[in-house]
């Protein structure tokens, strides 16, 4: 990934993180890498642990940001979430959900927040 694209990704992710924090979620971790993939944002919403996938598209071609979170991506995020929880005993029994933050356009970005966007297949 080019440096410009990484920089843009960070800016978009910062905007998405701030958006959910204004709604009352607390940040636990960002950009958690493991062998299964990356967790963009790990948040706390009351008792729930929220794994939020941030997707950015300038436009809506090819289905837009929401459509880019296909079953394969969902499985990767769910596997990374299981790995994350396994290393944090204090969160292991907390209820979890998977959200998608679909960011589109140029600043100021439009952010569509889909809570409980998918459920992992066990």
93: domain CATH number? 3.40.1350.10
Q: Distance between CA atoms of 57 and 16, rounded to whole angstroms?
A: 13
Mean pLDDT across the stretch 19-39? 97
Residue 40 is assigned to a structural domain of this protein: yes
Residue 60 is assigned to a structural domain of this protein: yes
| Cβ-based neighbours of 10, under 8 Å, separated by 6 or more | none
Domain count, the chain: 1
Predicted confidence (pLDDT) per residue in 71-107, tens digit:
999 999 999 999 999 999 999 899 999 999 999 988 8
Do you find a cis peptide bond into 108, omega within 30 degrees of 0?
yes
């Amino acid at each position: 990934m080019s440096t410009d694209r990484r920089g843009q990704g960070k800016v978009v992710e910062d905007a998405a993180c701030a958006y959910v924090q204004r709604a009352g979620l607390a940040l636990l971790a960002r950009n958690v890498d493991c062998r299964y993939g990356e967790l963009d944002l790990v948040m706390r919403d009351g008792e729930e642990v929220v794994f939020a996938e941030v997707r950015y598209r300038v436009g809506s071609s090819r289905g837009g940001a929401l459509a880019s979170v296909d079953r394969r991506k969902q499985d990767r995020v769910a596997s990374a979430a299981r790995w994350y929880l396994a290393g944090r005993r204090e969160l292991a029994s907390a209820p979890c959900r998977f959200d998608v933050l679909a960011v589109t356009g140029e600043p100021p970005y439009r952010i569509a927040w889909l809570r409980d966007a998918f459920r992992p297949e066990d």
